[in-house]
């Protein structure tokens, strides 16, 4: 009987230790990713004053271009930066939330965004970064 209690106790302790190792944050690591709708390549409107391309993958974002507008200009260009999104509103064709980006080892102030899809006259996806109202257009996955 005593041996059974000790075995159960050791097993419980082992399970507790293993589960705590799995859930350790690792010093600021974020396990979230970018919203599926935001993944892909986004560009400023052709012919606009700004020339910027933003590529969003599962958990990285890459900002490039010859003239990168604010608020994106504060991030290191041409680098794959860690990031994720948190939605604050999720409607059928409209999503709002925040984009979090880690640059130079530090999580920067989040970018507020609005994502929406227009269906008429043609389907088009847009991503607007607030408060600058910088609108990026979806090009391809």
Range of the domain at 86: 29-140
Is residue 127 included in any domain, yes or no? yes
Instruction: Give the residue carrying structure tokens 């020339």.
Output: 51
Tell me the C-alpha distance between 81 and 117, whole Å. 26
Is residue 46 included in any domain, yes or no? yes
Q: Phi/psi at 114 (nearest 5 deg)?
A: -130, 130
CATH number of the domain enclosing 120: 2.40.128
37 vs 8, 108, 116, CA distance in Å?
47, 22, 9
Buried b (16+ CB within 10 A) or exposed e, 85-98: beeeeeeeeebbbe
- Positive or negative torsion for Cα 46, 48, 51, 52: negative
Is residue 38 included in any domain, yes or no? yes
Residue 8 has what pLDDT? Answer: 64
Is residue 17 included in any domain, yes or no? no
Strand partners, 126: 116, 137
pLDDT tens per residue across all 141 residues of the chain: 667 666 665 555 555 544 444 433 334 454 689 999 999 999 998 888 889 999 999 999 999 999 999 899 999 999 999 999 999 998 878 999 999 999 999 999 999 999 999 887 778 999 999 989 999 999 987
Is residue 115 included in any domain, yes or no? yes
Residue 119 has what pLDDT? Answer: 81
Is residue 64 included in any domain, yes or no? yes
Is residue 56 included in any domain, yes or no? yes
pTM: predicted TM-score of the whole model, two decimal places: 0.75
Is residue 90 included in any domain, yes or no? yes
Tell me the C-alpha distance between 92 and 106, whole Å. 33
Decide: 100 and 113 in contact? Cβ < 8 Å. no
The count of structural domains within the chain is 1
């Amino acid at each position: 009987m005593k041996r059974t209690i000790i075995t159960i106790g050791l097993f419980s302790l082992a399970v507790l230790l293993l589960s705590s190792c799995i859930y350790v944050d690792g010093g600021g690591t974020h396990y979230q990713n970018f919203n599926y709708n935001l993944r892909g390549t986004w560009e400023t409107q052709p012919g606009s004053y700004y020339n910027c391309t933003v590529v969003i993958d599962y958990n990285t974002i890459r900002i490039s271009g010859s003239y990168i507008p604010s608020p994106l200009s504060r991030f290191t260009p041409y680098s794959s930066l860690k990031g994720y999104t948190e939605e604050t509103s999720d409607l059928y064709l409209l999503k709002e939330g925040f984009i979090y980006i880690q640059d130079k080892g530090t999580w920067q102030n989040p970018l507020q965004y609005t994502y929406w899809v227009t269906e008429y006259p043609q389907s088009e996806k847009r991503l607007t970064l607030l408060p600058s109202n910088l609108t990026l257009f979806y090009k391809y996955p």
